[in-house]
Amino acid sequence: MTLRRLLERPLNYTGRSMRWGCVVVSLALAACLAAPPPNTVIEEPPPDATPPGGSPIALNGLAAHGALTIGGRDDLVLIGQRDGLPVAIVLSPEGPLFKDVTASAITLPYDPVDLVITRWASLTRLAVALGPGGPLQAIDQDGALIELALTEEGSSPAAPFTRLGQINADNHRLLLSDDQEFYVSDPLGTGNPGEQPIDLVFLGGAPGPLLLAGANSTSTAGIGIIKEDNEIDVHAFSEVDVPAVGDDLALDQTTPSPLSRPFWRMVGMSMVLLGIDPSRTGIWYHSTPLSDGEIATGIEEVPGVDEIHDLLMTRLDGTVVELILLAEMAGQLQVMVYLNPEATPALETPLVLPISGLTPPYWIEAMDAVADGGAQNEIIVYDQAGHIACVDLVNELPESCGSLDLAAAVTLSGASTSGRPGW
């Protein structure tokens, strides 16, 4: 099975970039990865010089997007350091244009190793950060830091947690793993966040996980794991009576070593893993069905590309999910957008927009930065120094929607001019 056929199924979000609900997607990748001539170069972000009153920022590529307000547009949380201190930088859409986005730096007690955005019942959404040794800090919609305590059978967990994920089946739950085992939390939403410990339920063994994520569709849910030896585990997840998982369904499958920027998705009734294989300059994929079906694994090389820096899947037009690559071709950084081939059959090759003014390393994420109607996001390209380029899809063509220098734009928590309390 090719990656194109694999992805022509309903798709749900999880892993590094989280989405809620179920959407239908048809993405062209196999047999259509040659890039067309470049479009107009995007406007350059501001120069490297830090303006008066600004502080240098060093981002590390750890990020999550999702609405921090119930029913709100997608925010973007970036992790890094400012003035030598660990911070979460929250980018929030506050108006119709990207220039209206506000940026708030919230100082953290540690450098996070994992980050998810989840929902706390009907009260709020939370950005939850896992620190070294296992502590959990949450950021709520008001920008407040909340410490989350965990218990297992009434006692504090014995081993420190090293990985964090989440699953949204019948309830919103956190997934956590130490070096040997993985757990799921009770449903989030009893009382106010931080008022009482979150109970954990043991699920199974997962020695040395490198990535832990859950996904769900309308009828099933699964958990995907990449272990430190590059072995893949996939489990069906059930909430009937007591949360539990079935046996490993991946049957000793492994990823290429190393796999860059991997993430899990639910596609139809299968858990699908996508990532970059740097040795082949291509997108590696794996699919394990949670019920009937065959395991599929393969790689789709991207012709003409020197290096793939990052990849992302998000909704750019509000109806289908696009695949976006951040790649380098002949020394030029490019955003490459693969559209739905059934909706736009003439666009079987990717739409390409060159990006200038950024310095490596750089990454891509998503947020609802432009109020253009419907549930759709824009592409956020950013580098370690906090230079951001916004890319929007307008009439099925990628266009610049602005740029931002975080060193100049960011405010400390509590000092923002945003209309949100505490920002």
Span 45-73, pLDDT tens digits: 444 444 444 689 999 999 999 888 877 88
Which range has the worst mean pLDDT, 21-25, 204-208, 378-382?
Answer: 21-25
In this structure, how many other beta carbons lie within 10 angstroms of the beta carbon of residue 100? Answer: 14
Residue 272 vs residue 417, higher pLDDT: 272
Closest CA to 98 of 419, 405, 407: 405
d(CA 271, CA 330): 35
Contact 28, 348 (CB under 8 A): yes
Residues 6+ apart with CB under 8 A from 313: 11, 13, 17, 25, 27, 263, 265, 274, 321, 322, 323, 324
pLDDT tens digits, one per residue of 3-14? 666 666 554 544
DSSP reduced 3-state for 4: helix
10 Å Cβ neighbour count for 149?
12
pLDDT tens column, 389-422: 999 988 888 999 999 999 999 886 532 323 333 2
- Show me where the domains of the chain are located: 3-412
pLDDT at 283 > cutoff 50: yes
| 3-state secondary structure (DSSP) of residue 422 | coil
- 300: pLDDT confidence band, cut at 50, 70 and 90? confident
Residue 360 confidence class, pLDDT cut points 50, 70, 90: very high
- CATH of span 3-412: 2.130.10.10
- What pLDDT sits at residue 34? 44
DSSP string, 347-409: --SPEEEEE-S--SSEEEEEE--S--SSS--EEEEEETT-EEEEEEEETTEEEEEEEEEHHHH
For residues 393 and 372, what is the distance between their CA atoms, to the nearest angstrom? 10
The DSSP line for 314-358 is: E-SSSSS-EEEEEEEETTEEEEEEE--TTT-TT--SPEEEEE-S-
Q: Return d(Cα 398, Cα 317) in angstroms, integer.
A: 11
What amino acid occupies position 5? R
Above 90 in pLDDT, residue 168?
no
The pLDDT tens digits for 312-349 are: 988 887 677 788 999 999 999 999 998 864 444 444 68
For the chain, give the percent of residues with pLDDT over 70.
80
What's the pTM value of the predicted model, to 2 decimals? Answer: 0.85
Of the listed ranges 2-11, 97-106, 384-393, the least confidently predicted one is 2-11
CA quadruple 174, 148, 76, 362: dihedral, nearest 10: -80
Nearest C-alpha neighbor of 325 from the set 353, 297, 298, 287 = 353
Give φ, ψ of 228 to 5 degrees.
-65, -20
Residue 228 confidence class, pLDDT cut points 50, 70, 90: confident
Query: What share of the chain has pLDDT > 90, as a percent?
Result: 50
Tell me: the pLDDT tens digits for 137-158? 999 888 899 999 999 887 888 7
Residue 42: is its pLDDT beyond 50?
no
Cα distance between residue 350 and residue 25, in whole Å: 16
